Chains A and B, each alone.
Chain A
Amino acid sequence: MRHQPLETSGQRPAATVDASLPLALSTSGLTKSFGGRTAVSSLNLAIPRGVISGFVGPNGAGKTTTMRMLLGLISPSAGSGEVLGADLGHPQRFLHRVGAMIESPAFYPALSGRKNLDVLARLGGIPPVNISRALRRVSLVDRAADSFRTYSLGMKQRLGIAAALLPDPDLLILDEPTNGLDPAGIVEMRNLLRSLSSEGITIFVSSHQLSEIAQVCKHLVVISTGRMVFQGHIGDLMSRTRPLLRATPEVPGQLGPLERLAGGLGMVTHLEHGSLVAHGDSTMAARLFRAAAQADITLVQLDVLRPSLEDTFLALTAGPAGGATVDPGPWALEGSDD
C-alpha cells in the first residue's frame, strides 16, 4: 500500500485560513523562475496577523526563495502580493516595519555584535536605543563588545534575531532560526517567539524542526517543489491525516480471520509484525472490537494511533511530486487513494 499526497500539484483553497483575521502577508500567483527552473510556482499565501505561522517544506522546496521575494531581495517572475497592506513591488513601503533573518546570520566578523547592529540601525534610520533593547532581548548584552568572529553558533543566531528586532517590527520573517542551536537554545528561541507573538508581532518562520513548529505555530504553510500543498491551522492539517488502528489477536493463527473481519467492515488493511494495521478512528476500533468478540477472537492490543506532524508532513510531501525522498510510512491523507 502506498499513499499519494493530497494536492501536491495544486493549492489548498483559502477557506482553510481563518477568514476573520486580517492578513499580515498575502500573495497571489507568486512565481519565481531561475532560467528554466521554477523555484516557486503560483504561491497564494495568506498569513493572518498576530500569529506565528510556520513555513515548512523539504530542502529545495522554495522556502528561502519565497522569503527573499517577500523582502524585496528577489524580484518575482510573476504574481503579486501585499505585506502589511503595502504592495510587494515597493519594499520601501513596508520593510521599515519588518524584521528578517534569512538563512545563516551574516555579519562582519571583525566588528563587535553591537557595531554590527549599529551598521544596520544607522542604515535604516533606527534610533540607537533600539540596539541595546534588541541585545537585551536576546541576552547578548554581556558579549556585545566582542567581535562577531568569537561568537558561538548560538550567539550568532541570537544576534541575527536581535538584528531582526531592531526596527520594532510588526512582522518578523525568520528562516530556520533554530539552525545549529543546542536543546537549551531551541527552548530559548521557542520562548522568545512566543513572547514576541504575545506582543502582537506576526511571525512567519521556516524550520526543519517540525516538532518545534508544532509547539509554537498555530498556522502552517507547507510547500513542496515550489508549490503549496497546505495552508491553514495545524489542527486542520492533522485532522486530514487518518489515524491508524493496530489490532493484535491473542492467538497468532487468528490474524487471518481478523483481517477478513476488518475487510468485511470496509477497512483497508495490511499485516505488520503479527498485528493487523488499518486506517480508522475510535468508532472503527469499537466496531472491530465488537466483531472480533462475536467471532471469538480475543484481542490483546487495540490501539488508535495518531500521526505526528512529521508523519503528516511526510505524507503530504512524499513521492516524486512532493519531492521528499523519505518513505512517508503508513499514514495517508483524507481523500487519498488507498
Chain B
Amino acid sequence: MTNAFASEWIKLRRRSLFYGSYAAVVAVSCLVTVLTFSTAGHNAATGPAGESTPLSQLAQSGGSVNGLEGSLTILGVIAFAIAASQMAMEYGQGTLRNLLVRQPRRFVFLAGKFLAISTFMIGAVALATVASIVVAFAMAHTRGVSTDQWTMLSGLQSMGTGFINVALATVGYALLGMALGIVLRSSVAAVAIGIAYLLPVEQILASTVTSTAGYLPGQLLSAVAQGGTSTIGYAHSLVGALLFLAVAATAGSVLFIRRDVTS
C-alpha cells in the first residue's frame, strides 16, 4: 500500500494541482472567517446570507475556528472534486490499465490512492486552519472580540478539535468523490453531478424538508465539521456519516475490484 501511496503523491504534487488546491482552500477559509467576523452582531440574526454569529459566541474558546468550520461546505466540495477527478481521470486517460499492470492487487491500489488523497486534503485543512486562526485573531482585534479564552487550554483544545472535525469531514467528502469517480468513470460527470447534489439539491432539500437534514450525507458531514449543530447532534452526525461512507467505500471498492478495465 505504501507503494501505491507514494505513487499517487507524485501526481498530487504536480504544481497546478498542489498550489492551486492549497491556495483555494486557504482563500476560502480566510474569506469565510472574515465574513463570519464582519457579519457578527450583538445578537444572532438570520439574513439572506444565512445565520450570523453573535460576537459573544466568537469570544468563547471555540471562536478562533468558527470561520474554519463554516467554510466546510466549500472545503468539502473542493475535496470531493479533487478526489472524484483524480479517480475518474485514471479511467478517462486510460492510465488505469498501466497502473493495474504494475499493481494488480486492486484493493491495495485503491487504499493507497485514498490514503494519499486523504493526506493531501488533511494537509490542506491544516494549512487552512492556521491561516483561518491568524485571520480570526486579526478580525477579533478589529471587531473588539476578546481572544483571552482562545489562548487558554480550552481554546487550544477547541482549535485541535476544530481541525480534527473539519479534517474528518473533508476526508469524508473525498471518499464520496472517489466512489462517484469510480461509478461514473468521467471526471466531468462525477464533479458536476456531485457538486450539483451537494450544493443546490441537498441544501434545498434540507431547508425545505428539515426533517431530512439528519439523513443527508452532506448535512451530516457538515455537522461533523462543526462538532454537531442545534439540529444534528455530534454523535448522530458521526454515526450517520460513517454509515454513508461505509456504503460508499464498499460499493466503490467492489465495483473497482470486479469491473473489467476496458478503457
Contacts and interface: CB of A to CB of B under 8 A. Distances in A.
Interface of A is mostly: loop
Contact of A95 (B11, B16, B102): B102
Contacts of B98: 106-107, 120, 163
Interface string A112-152: 00010011101111100000000000000000000000000
Contact of B262 (A68, A95, A110): A68
A71 B94 contact: no
Given A106-B93, A108-B93, A71 B14 contact: no
A104 interface: yes
A110 B101 CA distance: 22
Interface footprint category on B: 20 to 34
Contacts of B11: 108, 111, 119
Interface string A83-101: 0000000011001001010
B212 interface: no
A109 B93 CA distance: 9
Contacts of B16: 110
B241 to A, nearest CB: 31
B192 interface: no
Contact of B261 (A73, A119, A123, A166): A73
B197 to A, nearest CB: 28
Closest 4 CB pairs of A and B: A106-B94, A124-B102, A123-B7, A91-B104
B4 A123 contact: yes
Given A104-B94, A163-B98, A123 B262 contact: no
Interface string B94-138: 110111111111000100000000000000000000000000000
Main SS of chain B's interface residues? Answer: helix
B148 interface: no
B93 A74 contact: no
Contact of B104 (A72, A102, A106, A107): A72
Contacts of A91: 104
Contacts of A122: 3, 6-7, 10
B14 A123 contact: no
Contacts of A311: none
Contacts of A7: none
Interface in B209-240: none
A155 to B, nearest CB: 17
A281 interface: no
B3 A95 contact: no
A75 interface: yes
A109 B17 CA distance: 13
Given A123-B102, A163-B98, A74 B261 contact: yes
